[in-house]
Amino acid sequence: MVRRDGLTDEQFHAHWREPHGRLAMRVRDIRRYVQDHTFGAAPDVAGWPHTRYDGLPAVWFDSLADARALHTNPDFRESHADETNLVDRDRLAWLYCTEHVVLAGPPMATGDPEGWKLTLLIGRRADTPRGEFDAAIHAATALGSTSLPAVRRATYALPRPDDAGSPRFDAVVEFLFPGRAELEVATASPAAGTVLDGLTPVAEPAASELAWTYEERWLWP
């Protein structure tokens, strides 16, 4: 999500929490709902531009059909209407994907202590076969799950093959840390450089972005 013109960064994040987060929670088909807030600090990582987005929501459904039906779901009506107060709709991007958990970490629940993420939004090089790309994403996530200092959760998400759309990104990789200090140390570590180097042969720099975000779990079973 890119905030609408006229909103400050603080206003955007406040409005996303209240009332928008509360309105989204009314959608009974949602199984899990997370808000990832950027927080005004841009990681300096060579070759990886900072994300254009101010917020990265993640929503889980039982099926692709339920996800695609969101905009016709009566429960979503108020939340959808509120989008005009919050985001630039012309710059909204949706990614229908399947999450793969490489490092689950300790059990998590709504209201857990803070979590901070290093998020990679990755576009695939045109000359890289899909299978080779997916394997590289898995390998990089697995490497980060064992080598990044203080990492407590590592996941990647790939677009669903049964979605006929054209996804903005070809993979999303997330590494979760217990605090902002740990996030910054991990991003600057040699281990992070090795993880990113492993993606260089398959990732398209012009179609990829990197973000630091603060995770808020609104609905987490």
pLDDT of the chain, 221 residues: tens digit per residue: 999 999 999 999 999 999 999 999 999 999 999 999 998 777 888 889 999 999 999 999 999 999 999 999 999 999 999 999 999 999 998 899 999 999 998 887 666 767 999 999 999 999 999 999 999 999 999 999 999 999 999 999 999 988 777 899 999 999 999 999 999 999 999 999 999 999 999 999 999 999 999 999 999 87
Task: Return the residue matching tokens 């939004």.
Answer: 121
Domain count of the fold of the chain: 1
The answer to whether residue 4 is domain-embedded is no
Exposed/middle/buried for residue 139 (C-beta within 10 Å: 0-12, 13-18, 19+):
middle
pLDDT reported for residue 113: 67
Structure tokens at 100: 């793969």
Report pTM.
0.94
The string of DSSP letters for the chain reads: --BPTT--HHHHHHHIIIIIIHHHTT-TT-SEEEEEE--S-----TT-PBPS-SEEEEEE-SSHHHHHTGGG-GGGHHHHHHGGGTB-GGG-----EEEEEEE--S---TTPSPEEEEEEEEPBPTTS-HHHHHHHHHHHHHHHHHHSTT--EEEEEEE-TT--S--S-SEEEEEEESSHHHHHHHHTSHHHHHHHHHHTTTB-GGG-EEEEEEEEEEE--
Alpha carbon distance 187, 76 (integer Å) = 37
- Choose among 121, 125, 140: nearest CA to 198: 140
Cis preceding linkage at 49, omega within 30: no
CATH of residue 65: 3.30.70.100
Structure tokens at 157: 């998400």
As beta bridge partners, residue 121 has 172, 209
The answer to whether residue 207 is domain-embedded is yes
The answer to whether residue 176 is domain-embedded is yes
Task: Return the residue matching tokens 């202590």.
Answer: 113
Give the distance between the most distant pair of CA atoms in the chain.
49
pLDDT reported for residue 211: 95
Q: Does residue 60 contact residue 155 with C-beta atoms inside 8 Å? A: no
201: containing domain: 9-219
The answer to whether residue 2 is domain-embedded is no
Alpha carbon distance 122, 209 (integer Å) = 6
The answer to whether residue 164 is domain-embedded is yes
